[in-house]
């Protein structure tokens, strides 16, 4: 059995990610007692039925009391509120982290709320599915996935040790860990996750609005590419609304570049510039092969994919 890194872990917000953290940490044997706070009564009923918590409450302060590790896994725009609710009960020496998909605004909110003596180490597991709620959680979600930590600019030993301990925690859950600046994280994720989601939401919306193609035809012929977009476009509306509102600048920057490139593609199609299209499609195929080679996707197409496989990042 692995070393217990945190005798008590508190998880605030126990949906897909919170539940997966609990199941994975328990399976790895790296935490002792587990306390959970969740605002949703329905979620609390399921958390109790699934046996995810040793102590379950709606009260954030009650859950985090005497915890060595506090993981906030609520939607991005609820992080500040959750951190403020936790703050008075956080014990000195505790590590306060989160799983939010945006890091700049969340890192700021956590730093503002945390009392001195608490180590704030924001984080983001690049792993997920389009499901939400505690029933969607599973212990293998973080296997072979990246977790990005965005530590504060501090170099005192106790803080560095806290960052290392949190990195060891995620590694024990099966993930690899990278560290980067919060603003850089937000730009990288705008390209790799936020823009693809925006495109998926938009393309599915466009297809739904087309009058000359019936809804039945869209369903029937969806294997032509559309189906994979619908899976991404089924992602949680609250979570994604929060992502776009809190990572506005990076998303708009990348969206601007994307729009320019799309215009160029549109010109190439209009003027019959097949070589331009061929050159782009060849380059993009190489990128896909690189992703498969990096172990971040299976080589086979998405057909028949089990939703419990960690195949979507956020």
Among 25, 30, 34, 100, binds ligand NAP (CB under 6 A): 100
36 lines the binding site for ligand NAP (CB under 6 A) = no
Q: Judged by CB, which is closer to ligand NAP: 137, or 151?
A: 137
Q: Least CB distance from residue 158 to ligand NAP, whole Å?
A: 27
**Distance in angstroms (rounded) separating the CA atoms of residues 11 and 5:** 15
Q: How many residues does the chain have?
A: 314
Beta-carbon contacts of 63 under 8 Å, excluding residues fewer than 6 positions away, are 10, 11, 12, 35, 36, 37, 55, 57
How many residues line the site for ligand NAP (CB under 6 A)? 29
Q: Which of 32, 115, 133, 196 binds ligand NAP (CB under 6 A)?
A: 133
> Is residue 97 part of the contact set for ligand NAP (CB under 6 A)?
no
* Strand ranges inside 58-200, DSSP E: 69-72, 95-98, 119-120, 123-125, 146-149, 176-179
Of 34, 36, 58, nearest to 47 by C-alpha is 36
Among 38, 65, 68, 186, the residue binding ligand NAP under the rule CB under 6 A is 38
Closest distance between ligand NAP and the C-beta of residue 258, in Å? 22
Q: Minimum distance from CB of 75 to ligand NAP (Å)? A: 5
Among 95, 97, 105, 132, binds ligand NAP (CB under 6 A): 132
Q: Is 70 in the site for ligand NAP (CB under 6 A)?
A: no
Crossing angle for the helix pair 157-172 and 16-28, to the nearest 10 degrees: 90
The closest alpha carbon to 169, from 12, 294, 27, 61, belongs to 27
The residue from 22, 163, 239, 250 that contacts ligand NAP (CB under 6 A) is 239
φ, ψ for residue 271, nearest 5 deg: -95, 10
Is residue 177 close enough to count as binding ligand NAP by CB under 6 A? no
Q: Does 75 bind ligand NAP (CB under 6 A)?
A: yes
Closest CA to 72 of 17, 146, 31: 17
CB of 290 to ligand NAP, least distance (A): 22
Window contacting ligand NAP (CB under 6 A); options: 97-105, 174-182, 248-256, 283-291: 97-105
Binding to ligand NAP by residue 76, rule CB under 6 A? yes
Query: In three state form, how does the secondary structure of 12-52 look?
Result: ECCCHHHHHHHHHHHHHCCEEEEEEECCCHHHHHHHHHHCC
Answer for the pair 173, 69: CB distance below 8 angstroms, yes or no: no
CA–CA gap between residue 65 and residue 33 (Å, rounded): 12
Q: Is 47 in the site for ligand NAP (CB under 6 A)?
A: no
Choose which of 10, 12, 177, 182 interacts with ligand NAP (CB under 6 A): 12
- Binding to ligand NAP (CB under 6 A) within 250-269 occurs at none
Calpha distance 111→80 (Å, rounded) = 10
- Which chain residues interact with ligand NAP by CB under 6 A? 12-13, 15-18, 37-40, 43, 60, 73-76, 78, 81-82, 99-101, 125, 128, 132-133, 236, 239, 314
């Amino acid at each position: 059995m692995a070393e217990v890194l945190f005798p008590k872990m508190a998880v605030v917000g126990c949906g897909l990610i919170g539940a997966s953290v609990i199941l994975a940490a328990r399976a790895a044997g790296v935490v002792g007692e587990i306390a959970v706070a969740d605002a949703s009564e329905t979620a609390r009923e399921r958390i109790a039925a699934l046996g995810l918590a040793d102590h379950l409450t709606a009260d954030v302060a009650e859950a985090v009391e005497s915890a060595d590790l506090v993981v906030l896994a609520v939607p991005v725009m609820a992080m500040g509120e959750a951190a403020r609710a936790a703050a008075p009960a956080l014990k000195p020496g505790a590590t306060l982290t989160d799983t939010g998909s945006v890091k700049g605004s969340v890192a700021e909110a956590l730093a503002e709320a945390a009392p001195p003596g608490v180590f704030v180490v924001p984080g983001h597991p690049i792993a997920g599915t389009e499901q939400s709620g505690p029933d969607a959680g599973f212990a293998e979600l973080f296997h072979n996935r990246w977790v990005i930590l965005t530590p504060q600019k501090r170099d005192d030993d106790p803080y560095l040790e806290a960052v290392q301990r949190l990195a060891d925690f995620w590694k024990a859950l099966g993930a690899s860990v990278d560290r980067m600046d919060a603003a850089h994280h937000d730009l990288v994720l705008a390209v790799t996750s936020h823009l693809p989601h925006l495109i998926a939401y938009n393309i599915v919306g466009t297809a739904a609005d087309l009058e000359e193609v019936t809804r039945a035809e869209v369903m029937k012929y969806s294997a032509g590419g559309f189906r994979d977009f619908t899976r991404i476009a089924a992602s949680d509306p609250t979570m994604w609304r929060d992502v776009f509102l809190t990572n506005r600048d990076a998303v708009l920057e990348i969206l601007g570049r994307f729009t320019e490139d799309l215009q160029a593609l549109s010109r190439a199609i209009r003027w019959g510039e097949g070589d331009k299209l061929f050159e782009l499609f060849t380059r993009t195929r190489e990128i896909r092969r690189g992703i498969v080679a990096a172990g971040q996707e299976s080589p086979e197409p998405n057909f028949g994919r089990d939703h419990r496989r960690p195949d979507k990042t956020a």
